[in-house]
Amino acid sequence: MTRLVIFCTLLLVGQSLAIKKSRVRKFPDNFIFGASTAAYQIEGGWNDDGKGLSIWDVATHMEPSPIIDASTGDVAADSYHLYKRDVEMMKELGLHFYRFSVSWTRILPNGFSNQINQAGLDYYNRLIDEMLKNNIMPFLTIYHWDLPHKLQQLGGWANPNIVDWFTNYAKVLFDNFGDRVKMWITINEPKQICYEGYGSTSKAPMLNYTGVAEYLCSKNVLLAHANVYKLYDEKYRETQNGSIGISISCTWMHPVSDSYDDHQAALDARQFDWGQYAHPIFSKDGDYPKELKLNIGLKSAEQGYRKSRLPLLSTKEVALIHGSSDFFGVNTYTTKLAYRDPSVDGMYPIPSYMDDMSAILIKDDSWPQAQSTWLQEVPWGFYNLLIDIKRRYNNPKVYITENGWSTSGGLVDEDRVRYYRNYLNALLDAVENGCNIKGYTAWSLMDNFEWMRGYTERFGLYEVDFSSPQRTRTPRMSALVYKEIIRTNTLDPTYEPENDIAL
């Protein structure tokens, strides 16, 4: 039944794409492809074998639940037990690498490095060894949002001591996995951690301390990242010979009109959204972008604060953070339109990140819409982003560490196929225009727990049946298309997978 459905619809997809762009394009030699996941979203085993509680364990068990379908990651895709099947899928796709994250409390149950949980180390050793046995390179994210609850009780990312706590945790990972892991991400998506978790309620710990906590967090995230980079650089690089960077989520913000104000609104929005984290690390002189310092400084003064709500970086801190990345990990999904309209001042809480930014962000209804309300397909926005990163930060080495599309489920995911093809086509345009892009990572290898949206939004190349005890994984049409892109190292918009979903 499924096979028949796939066969019929594939012809249609192939045809419409063929009209748009029939050119077969090649990726650079040595370009690498992977897929990504995060510990809390797939592992399950939330209290197995000595694991401690993270802020997501706490958030998902709150009554009433803040998760739209009241679900949890208690079992999720059960990768804590099914990691061998996960590696099989990587092999089926022909991935060069797999980007996964480590659960801090699986290794350090109370967050501190005085007590190491051997069962946690054993799990990641098994996973890493299974990947290497199959020629898949492990690409390890040290922190992907599941902060130890114990550390949150002390303020989490708003407490400057987190720089030490995080560095001690990272050291345990370098000591135990660095002999085999050569690609590292310190921290995944600072903006989502800080703005969404501390400056609003859309991620754990849902602090909503608007206009204040997200900037305390921002500074501590940057310092924690830079301190871990320095540790790797000084103590591990010589013997372990790996690369270490950061993944920053970047949304392309496009001015609604050609007016000066709208251009400035789009620029401010980019600087708040990702320049806040990228500028201190990748720009020529480091430090926060001037738009950020200016806007928050002015608003803070108007509001009667004695100094800016954005804690400034000292000369020493600027120097520590500057250049602290071997590559720029770009997570990107979509584009938004930005404009400025002083008459709507006060539409956001005061103080807040959005009020400080003073840009209004909207969607364009003509852009294809994913299951996630925030996600629309805008390949030219992806292209603009890559060119802007090249220009602004002196053409850094870039890995796309996340990119993908959500549906409500189903194996025939033509819109995901179209999204991947159009985004990869834009990526190739950027490469042709000199962007130094080394690799691409699809989000995600499989369906998983999509944070506040629970299991209602599916990002997987593989569908996961969350109602089956085995959490059965089945490749979607997009998995077959991605496999062929990797196998041939080319983008062929007319390619139609065999009439067979078995890989």
Backbone angles phi, psi at 184, to 5 degrees: -130, 140
CB of 360 to ligand NAG, least distance (A): 17
CB of 45 to ligand NAG, least distance (A): 31
Q: Does 114 contact ligand NAG by CB under 6 A?
A: no
Q: Does 210 contact ligand NAG by CB under 6 A?
A: yes
137 vs 222, beta carbon nearer ligand NAG: 137
159 vs 201, beta carbon nearer ligand NAG: 201
SS3 82: helix
CB of 208 to ligand NAG, least distance (A): 4
Please calculate the CA angle 160-166-170 and round it to the nearest 5 degrees: 160
Q: Which residue among 349, 387, 472, 489 contacts ligand NAG (CB under 6 A)?
A: 349
Active site residues: 189, 402
- Per-residue binder mask for ligand NAG (CB under 6 A), 52-91, x = binder: ----------------------------------------
CB of 349 to ligand NAG, least distance (A): 3
Chain residue at closest Cβ approach to ligand NAG: 349
CA–CA distance, 328 with 185 (Å, rounded to integer): 10
165 vs 327, beta carbon nearer ligand NAG: 327
Identity (one letter) of the amino acid at 344? Answer: V
CB of 68 to ligand NAG, least distance (A): 14
CA–CA distance, 40 with 448 (Å, rounded to integer): 9
CA–CA distance, 288 with 483 (Å, rounded to integer): 40
Burial class of 457 by CB neighbour count within 10 A (0 to 12, 13 to 18, 19+)? buried
The distance in angstroms from the start CA to the end CA of the chain is 17
Q: Which residue among 110, 125, 159, 208 contacts ligand NAG (CB under 6 A)?
A: 208
66 vs 323, beta carbon nearer ligand NAG: 66
Backbone angles phi, psi at 19, to 5 degrees: -70, -40
CB of 206 to ligand NAG, least distance (A): 8
Nearest-10 Cα torsion for 334, 335, 341, 344: -10
DSSP class per residue in 438-458:
EEEEEE-SB----GGGTTSSB
> Applying CB under 6 A, what is the total number of residues that bind ligand NAG?
6
C-alpha torsion sign, points 320, 326, 332, 336: positive
212 vs 461, beta carbon nearer ligand NAG: 212
Q: Of 496, 430, 381, 332, which is closest to residue 27 (Cα–Cα)?
A: 430
Nearest-10 Cα torsion for 388, 392, 394, 398: -50
* Contact between residue 69 and residue 454 where contact means Cβ atoms under 8 Å apart: yes
β-strand pairing of 335-339 with 360-362: antiparallel
Q: Which of residues 225-254 bind ligand NAG (CB under 6 A)?
A: 241
Q: Which two tokens stand for residue 366?
A: 């003509």
Identity (one letter) of the amino acid at 412? Answer: V
* Contact between residue 418 and residue 17 where contact means Cβ atoms under 8 Å apart: yes
* Contact between residue 378 and residue 335 where contact means Cβ atoms under 8 Å apart: yes
Q: Does 201 contact ligand NAG by CB under 6 A?
A: yes
Please calculate the CA angle 467-469-473 and round it to the nearest 5 degrees: 75
CB of 66 to ligand NAG, least distance (A): 10
Beta strands in 71-221 (DSSP E): 97-101, 137-143, 183-188
CB of 28 to ligand NAG, least distance (A): 16
Q: Of 423, 339, 413, which is closest to residue 378 (Cα–Cα)?
A: 423
CB of 157 to ligand NAG, least distance (A): 18
241 vs 366, beta carbon nearer ligand NAG: 241
Task: Give the binding site for ligand NAG (CB under 6 A).
Answer: 201, 208, 210, 241, 349, 352
